Amino acid sequence: MVIEHVNGKKVGKVMLYALSTCGWCARTKELLRTLGVDFDSTYVDLLEGKDQDDAMNEVEKWNSKGSFPTLVIRDKISIVGFREEEIREALKG
């Protein structure tokens, strides 16, 4: 799986599942950058074959709708969609 890592303040594992074409995904990624946290992200639409299936299975574990963006924080909570206040709150640390 192609994972992009952005260095920043360590707040625990932060993983963003996104689509390269999606406006709300772009906003979510932008927010993570603005907050300056350390995070990983992947564009599921750019993955192929088994990689994409694996990523979808992972997304569906957290979000049964399998929709984007799905943000998984510290392997504990997931936030689906660009919910700015929830994301800010969850990343306060």
Partner 1 sequence: MNLVVVDEKEVDRIYIILKKEAESGGYFLNSDVDFSKNLVRGLLKNEQRYGYRACPCRLASGKKDEDLDIICPCNYRDPDLDEFGACYCALYVDEAIAGGKKPAAPVPERRPPRSERGTKRAVFTLSTSPVPSLAFPVWRCSVCGYLCAREQPPGICPICKVKKERFERFI
Judged by the rule CB under 8 A, the positions of this chain that interact with partner 1 are: 2, 19-26, 44-48, 56, 60, 64-68, 80-83
**46: closest CA among 27, 74, 25?**
25
3-state secondary structure of 55: helix
Rank residues 40 and 45 by Cβ distance to partner 1 and give the closer one.
45
Q: Which residue has the tokens 């990624």?
A: 29
Nearest distance, CB of residue 71 and partner 1, angstroms = 12
Looking at beta carbons only, is 14 or 79 nearer to partner 1? 79
Distance between CA atoms of 4 and 88, rounded to whole angstroms? Answer: 21
User: Which of 23/93 has CB closer to partner 1?
Assistant: 23
